[in-house]
Structure 1
Amino acid sequence: MITCKRKEKEMENVFYMDHPLIQHKISMLRAVQTGTNEFRKLVEEIAVLMAYEALRDLPTEDVEITTPLETCMTPMLSGKKLAIVPILRAGLGMVNGILTLVPSAKVGHVGLYRDPVTHEPHEYYCKLPEAIGERLILVADPMLATGGSAEAAVDFIKQKGGTNIKFMCIIAAPEGVERLHKKHPDVQIYCGHLDRCLNENAYICPGLGDAGDRIFGTK
């Protein structure tokens, strides 16, 4: 079983993964010699492991099943609607991993780019599944740096009627976690690893470089 823990300021709704497999795979992601194909596979594998924990509170109900031996009542998901919303473009790398666990989930997209001077996000695309207010929404982005993109994405989703939102990232800077939690304390944040800080260019240190470039081979 994957376990989560809180640390730093013990912020409610903020969870850090401590499973050795997740930490090992994140270390492999960081390595400069990790190529595009391996990097992409690692992101998907980490997304599977993290989503397993982030979705542990999905509701279930007992249904009647006939086994080869007898009929019994056994738990299955109770029809809770789920939406995966990656933040473009790097968040796309986590989608297939999450879909491995919940293949019936709907997928939306939020497109943001970061101003190179102010480091603040600007929206260029937002398309969400229908009945978004009735869904559990899992927002995915490998990096939580300044927190601006994550904050803006959650803002957009809430403006469209979404209320039950979780955020999942592979690595984060303390500044990003604090900003997202302060603006949206109701959103559960699942983080693979909390890094040291942001540098002067708002990149996470030690980080892993630009996740989008490394996933899509555009570095």
Structure 2
Amino acid sequence: MTDLPADALLVVTHPLVRHKLTRLRDRATSTADFRRLVRELSLLLGYEATRGLKLEPVTIETPLETMEGEQLSGKKLCFVSILRAGNGILDGMLDLVPSARVGHIGLFRDPKTLEAVEYYMKLPDDVAERQCIVVDPMLATGHSAVAAIDRLKHVGCGPIVFVCLLAAPEGVACLSAAHPDVRIITGALDRGLDDHGYIRPGLGDAGDRLFGTK
């Protein structure tokens, strides 16, 4: 992988993230536990993804006196889930920011070319006025992430952050080459991809493990 700007990739090494990722990777982890762990990890990663949100002053009354506090400034966030597996992270993100708007982009990976094929997109009408956080459990080849962000930029979105549980060096390089302005936040940077485009050591197919389809 080519060298990236210092702020282009953040691997969150918090002990809770490392612990929960280990349990998530374990093939013996049940579907119910897998869903719960993804939701918990998305909260921890979402904390980092929202660190740069702008604030504005606000005057409030505590039970004891008047004070000046701070609140989020401007339009609410938009979380964009890459279907279907992105919805596992989306749930936890909405726990963190329940007032956020939500968009969905449906993509599947062609098994022969490994390229992303779009089959669905639904975004808020004013998405271009909002900061977007794109969520997908895996950044493998990077093709799905690039395709989704291409679509968002086409309708005027920016700035954009990409959040995933695991990333491969190939995916990071692909996304950063196509969209160097998009920051990547992940729980781990794994060894690489196998011949089928799966992350190794990885955690298997995140969608199948989330929804019990295999």
TM-score, normalisation: structure 2: 0.97
Task: Write the distance in 2 (CA, Å) between the matches of 1:72 and 1:163.
Answer: 34
Aligned match of 1:145: 140
Conserved 8 A contact 1:17-1:50? yes
Aligned match of 1:42: 37
Aligned match of 1:88: 83
Q: Deviations over 1:51-72 (max 9, x none)?
A: 0011011111111110111001
Residue 9 of structure 1 and its aligned partner are, at CA, apart by: 2.9
1:180 and 2:187 aligned: no
Tell me which amino acid in the other structure corresponds to 2:3: K
Tell me which amino acid in the other structure corresponds to 1:112: L
Tell me which amino acid in the other structure corresponds to 2:10: F
Conserved 8 A contact 1:63-1:75? yes
Task: Write the distance in 1 (CA, Å) between the matches of 2:84 and 2:62.
Answer: 44
Which residues of structure 2 form unaligned runs of 5+? none
Residue 185 of structure 1 and its aligned partner are, at CA, apart by: 0.4
Tell me which amino acid in the other structure corresponds to 1:213: D
Conserved 8 A contact 1:58-1:80? no
Aligned match of 1:4: none
Which residue, 2, 6, 9 being the options, matches 2:3? Answer: 9
1:107 and 2:98 aligned: no
Q: Deviations over 1:53-97 (max 9, x none)?
A: 110111111111101110011111123321000100000001111
1:190 and 2:185 aligned: yes
Tell me which amino acid in the other structure corresponds to 1:9: D
| Alpha-carbon RMSD | 1.2
Alignment of 1:9-88 (within 5 A): 9-11=3-5, 12-88=7-83
Q: Deviations over 1:77-119 (max 9, x none)?
A: 1233210001000000011110111100011100001011111
Aligned match of 1:201: 196
3-state SS, counterpart of residue 111 of structure 1: strand
Aligned identity (percent) is: 54
TM-score, normalisation: structure 1: 0.95
Conserved 8 A contact 1:81-1:134? no
Which residues of structure 1 form unaligned runs of 5+? 1-6
